[in-house]
Structure 1
């Protein structure tokens, strides 16, 4: 039995054929849209690459510049290319050292310039387009109204105590103290909080907020050369030193017990009998910092205004002496007062020790160690007398001279 086909509106054409035709038409529309998108995408990839650009050279000092500070680095920089050659030459042919960065895009001078000198900076470069370019600048450095030098109370390679302040003494007064502090760079490991304090216009002192941590390394760079320190005053030369903070040594001299206790890293290591200043010349109470050590020293009262031939004067040679103040306070060997050491204060203000104990303490201590005097009378140590910075609280320290 034959199955009859389903007839559509057109005789002899099966419905399935119409469906197939419609599918073909639909497929044709989809293909056209896909082709259009493909054409659009193809247009994106057909964009042309930008042409290589010419090099642009920039110099840190403009042509004809005057009063250039000689401590600053002089640079040349290239954009869209690399520097092939650069030089900085003085008017008399002196060549200033300098060098390129590894990527060739920058050149920088590597040594300071002279005061009141004329230099020419020349840089040559090649751009991404392969074409060369040259830039030149001739300029003159500043001529100072005056120059000042600076000295420091520390030496390179020195090991110092936990109380050590860093003192910078200038050869003349400084009017721009902020500029001076910026030039005095102090780097520590581990990081240590500290601040400057000016006891006078020619001396800046930096101390940590608290005693140094033993083992701290300290780099001191007084980079004053080429720096304007105010009113046309410039630094004459730089100074630098690297230090290490040694063991914590604190000695406490007690006028009531007539003994000194010595602590190393917070452990008591020795107790020694002492004799301090008698009532007419008491040892000032306060916290001193060891300043200098001497094997063989003449104690002379005239150095602080008391004539040797007066009733209170003296001139004595001692075998061991360690300075604690500008005003003449030392701890030192005093074999003549051994009978009073441990029971009576009889000195002119110094801390008397037996020769053996003075030798041991001087061998054990170092500049920057801390000596505290207590119960010695009514007189108080002035923070300006020696390196006695610990006489000021941190709040007083950061407040400045008026604090």
Structure 2
């Protein structure tokens, strides 16, 4: 039969199966439809690229293969900057976000002390509630959430002003002290002050009498304050110093806030007359007593003007060397014990009981080294009657004014010059 192969002849084509032809046709139709009717391809190139770009263009996919709208990135404003050094402890520590919310914030010192803070009402800001410490390292961690609900945690660090740039101050009078009407308020800083206006603006001084006054800088570390006239008798003066974090200049930062209430007593003003050799005390403008004295000699005349009582001691020890006197000098007195001493100047002028050798001269001759010397009963009476902040006006002396910073010489400075 012809269908049988002859030996040595080629076999004929195998008969096709009907199912195979149908599958090929169906696959071609699917490819053509997918390609939008274009030329035949196993996978249409345009379709493949479009699908990949659609997924990659979305920042977030809520489920595999499903694209979501693009989410705006969170913007942060953080203070202090990461790694910042010499940060002012009074500077605000804060975090503000846009396009998101703040979930958590922790601010902790290296010593483990946590700093509390407060969130803004809408949850987009946080600010530390209190000042930081000097010479401390801090770790600042915050967690923020973007519009798609994703959280990001960030940790920063910074350090505050070192001890070498920390400024303190000594204040006088002390809180609660009762002083006389002539007592200036004094602040002595541990470091030089360049930004004087900033310091003055941080100190608010009020008086129950309504008096106002002025600051006067005696040096780059010492400032005082007084009114134009003496403080009103029996008033209270309040000095409210909000100096923590104030930049004094040259990187020196003040480290304290303090409020001081000073009570002013009666007005006690004494007049020491070097010509009449008398000491007259008035209380609230009424003369109460006059006692005889011996004041500074021609070689050592008493300083003129207003001298404010600084401190007093029932017993004291005077040394001639401390005022420059040496053995062999006719005025040299070695070392002596004295009673009822009240300091008038830093350089060594006092009210005190005179030495026994001076008793004959009290009331008639000036023989002291610039002090105001009394007989025992007069010295005891003045010691009990007067206190720090009271004032002695020295008149009819050949001496000049003491240096304005040699004690409290504030009242010898004309007001127009003081208030400058």
In the alignment, which residue of structure 1 is the partner of 2:320? 301
Give the root-mean-square deviation of aligned CA atoms.
Answer: 3.7
Output the CA distance in 1 between the equivalents of 2:293 and 2:143: 71
In the alignment, which residue of structure 1 is the partner of 2:235? 216
TM-score (norm 1): 0.71
In the alignment, which residue of structure 2 is the partner of 1:8? none
What is the DSSP-based 3-state SS (H/G/I as helix, E as strand, rest coil) of the residue aligned with 2:321? helix
What is the DSSP-based 3-state SS (H/G/I as helix, E as strand, rest coil) of the residue aligned with 1:229? strand
What is the DSSP-based 3-state SS (H/G/I as helix, E as strand, rest coil) of the residue aligned with 2:248? coil
In the alignment, which residue of structure 1 is the partner of 2:375? 354
Are positions 1:317 and 2:337 aligned together? Answer: yes
Shift of 1:230: 0.6
Change (3 A) 1:241 1:97: farther
What is the DSSP-based 3-state SS (H/G/I as helix, E as strand, rest coil) of the residue aligned with 2:247? coil
Output the CA distance in 2 between the equivalents of 1:166 and 1:134: 54
TM-score (norm 2): 0.69
Change (3 A) 1:333 1:179: same
Change (3 A) 1:184 1:356: same
In the alignment, which residue of structure 2 is the partner of 1:271? 290
Q: Please list the CA deviations of residues 9-46 of structure 1 after superposition, one character each: whole Å capped at 9, or x if unmatched.
A: xxxxxxxxxxxxxxxxxxxxxxxxxxxxxxxxxxxxxx
Shift of 1:205: 1.5
Are positions 1:258 and 2:277 aligned together? Answer: yes
**1:61–1:137 CA contact under 8 A, matched in 2:** no
Are positions 1:331 and 2:351 aligned together? Answer: yes
**1:98–1:111 CA contact under 8 A, matched in 2:** no
Are positions 1:182 and 2:201 aligned together? Answer: yes
What is the DSSP-based 3-state SS (H/G/I as helix, E as strand, rest coil) of the residue aligned with 1:366? coil
Change (3 A) 1:246 1:106: farther
Change (3 A) 1:94 1:393: same
Q: Please list the CA deviations of residues 347-399 of structure 1 after superposition, one character each: whole Å capped at 9, or x if unmatched.
A: 11100012222222122212111110000114333322211110101101123
Are positions 1:166 and 2:185 aligned together? Answer: yes
What is the DSSP-based 3-state SS (H/G/I as helix, E as strand, rest coil) of the residue aligned with 1:339? helix
**2:307–2:391 CA contact under 8 A, matched in 1:** yes
What is the DSSP-based 3-state SS (H/G/I as helix, E as strand, rest coil) of the residue aligned with 1:372? strand
Number of aligned positions between the proteins: 337
Output the CA distance in 2 between the equivalents of 1:312 and 1:168: 37
Change (3 A) 1:162 1:232: same
Output the CA distance in 1 between the equivalents of 2:234 and 2:141: 45
Are positions 1:228 and 2:228 aligned together? Answer: no
Shift of 1:227: 2.5
**1:194–1:206 CA contact under 8 A, matched in 2:** yes
Aligned pairs (5 A) from 1:30-109: 61=79, 64=82, 66=84, 67-72=86-91, 88-96=107-115, 109=129
Output the CA distance in 2 between the equivalents of 1:273 and 1:71: 57
Q: Give the greater-gyration-radius structure (CA).
A: 2
What is the DSSP-based 3-state SS (H/G/I as helix, E as strand, rest coil) of the residue aligned with 1:360? helix
Output the CA distance in 2 between the equivalents of 1:188 and 1:134: 54
Output the CA distance in 1 between the equivalents of 2:140 and 2:316: 56
Structure 1 unmatched runs, 5+: 1-57, 125-130
Change (3 A) 1:134 1:248: farther
Which residue among 214, 219, 222 is the counterpart of 1:200? Answer: 219
Structure 2 unmatched runs, 5+: 1-75
Are positions 1:363 and 2:381 aligned together? Answer: no
Change (3 A) 1:361 1:71: farther
